[in-house]
Amino acid sequence: MVEAIVLIQAKVGESSAVASAIAQLEGVMSADVVSGPYDVIARAQAENIDELGRMVVSKMQSVKGVTRTVTARSSVFERRPDPLVAPPGDQRTPGTKRHRTRRRYPSYSG
């Protein structure tokens, strides 16, 4: 299984319609309207990289309002626990964070 993030530029005022249409396509896990240089970010998956490319070119780029797409293949790595969040079974109050000590650097005065 291959996963990718597809950055989509849309015509002015058509971001919501594009996101809705993209979200309905087979193989698309999510499509969100965002701000910035791209208007919609979609997560997609396919059996292999060739199918993914065909899906982007033949399906996503043919959605009315799409002007440009950029595809970035994503990889899933093992996630490490957040060092600032208390681990399960910790005796602290639920939701509290661990205290991270701040590095102290020598002060340099002229």
| Residue 45 parent element (H or E) | strand 40-46
Q: Is residue 14 part of a domain?
A: yes
pLDDT at position 75? 75
Q: Is residue 102 part of a domain?
A: no
Q: Is residue 105 part of a domain?
A: no
Q: Is residue 81 part of a domain?
A: no
pLDDT at position 1? 86
- Which three-class secondary structure state does DSSP give residue 42? strand
3-49 pLDDT, tens digit per residue, is 999 999 999 999 999 999 999 999 999 999 999 999 999 999 999 99
55-82 pLDDT, tens digit per residue, is 999 999 999 999 999 999 987 655 566 6
pLDDT at position 95? 54
From the number of C-beta atoms within 10 Å of its C-beta (0-12, 13-18, 19+), residue 25 rates as middle
pLDDT at 86 over 80: no
pLDDT at 94 over 90: no
Distance, CA of 96 to CA of 93 (rounded, Å): 6
70: domain CATH number is 3.30.70.920
